[in-house]
Amino acid sequence: LFDFKIILGKNGVPVAENFRLEQSTIADMIQAGQVRVRTLYLSVDPYMRCRMNEDTGSDYLLPWQLSEVADGGGIGVVEESKHDNLAKGDFVTSFSWPWQTVAILDGSLLQKLVPQLVSGRLSYFLGAAGITGLTALLGIKEKGHVTVGANQTMVVSGAAGACGSLAGQIGRLEGCSRVVGIAGTDEKCSILVQEMGFDAAINYKKGNVAEQLRELCPGGVDIYFDNVGGDISDTVISQMNQNSHIILCGQISQYNKDVPYPPPLPPDIEKIQKERNITRERFLVLNYMDKQEASILQLCQWIQEGKLKV
């Protein structure tokens, strides 16, 4: 089997030299309760940068260990089973799947998947019908305060990413009347508008973002789905309305820096936030696991109906 090993670092951009690929052997026999799986999909996500630090800055994420196999969201197929509820050929997933081509895992820690829910597109269970989709849907439902018929405008940063592209569509499905995305290329902006149903999109690498935002959101911003933090977010927050809401999903512009999470706002932006009573609360999808099953079924239904493009 091949597996992927990790080398730690605190500041700076991850590079290939932080990792190594090893070839090793796996036990021939599995024990009672275990399954041998072959890996089909791994999800490589922004939060993993935090796991490259000895202190992840989070009590729910453990750091990757030096010279140990990296792990994260994964999907595989059972090749051999000694677990009562799993059989050969079953598709299974875990949030702590090892980055190995083949693995022996505790069957009780795996979740069995139903491929029909995503029309056989298994990888969706790591994205639109998995933790990514849940983050977008529950973030909007729990922290967005979307009200049907209230003529609300939502802005999404990192809008062409896995989470942002879903968030904009879900904002519309939940009742926002206007959705504007911010992304980094003209091609991404074009896809957001033509395929994902955003009303407009801003290429933040071109022109004046503040001016474009004023033009595209003449009534101000009511809900901001924040994936990036930094200068982009400061610009959006400065145009937010009284009693508006920030869905604090991610701050990827800050992940390669040694700063606390969530990073503090600059004093002038923090003043705006307080004066306008803008909510900006840390959001953890893991705090809403009681709503996971119903939410995943909703996401799968929207995908099958063509209302949610992946």
Summarize pLDDT for 12-42 with one digit per residue, the tens: 788 888 899 999 999 989 999 999 999 999 9
Distance in angstroms (rounded) separating the CA atoms of residues 216 and 73 = 37
* pLDDT tens, residue by residue, 115-161: 999 999 999 999 999 989 999 999 999 999 999 999 999 999 999 99
pLDDT of residue 9: 56
Torsion of CA 46, 51, 56, 59, to 10 degrees: 90
Residue spans of the chain under pLDDT 70 = 1-10, 252-261
* Run of H or E residues at 105: strand 102-106
pLDDT at 54: 82
124 Cβ contact partners less than 8 Å away, ≥ 6 residues apart: 118, 130, 303, 310
Beta bridge partner(s), residue 281: 247
> Residues 217-237, buried b or exposed e (16+ Cβ, 10 A)?
beeebbbbbbbbbeebbbbbb
Q: Which residues of 106-132 are buried (b: 16+ CB within 10 A; e: fewer)?
A: ebeebeebeeebbeeebbbbbbbbbbb
- 81 class by beta-carbon count within 10 Å (0-12 exposed, 13-18 middle, 19+ buried): buried
pLDDT at 45: 87
Q: What are phi and psi of 39, to 5 degrees?
A: -75, 130
Determine the Cα–Cα distance for residues 133 and 299; give it in Å rounded to an integer.
Answer: 7
How many CB atoms lie under 10 A from the CB of residue 242?
10
Structure confidence at residue 114 (pLDDT): 95
DSSP 143-211: II---TTS--EEEEESTTSHHHHHHHHHHHHHT-SEEEEEESSHHHHHHHHHTS--SEEEETTSS-HHH
Q: What is the pTM of this model?
A: 0.86
Q: Map tokens 């955003």 to a residue.
A: 198
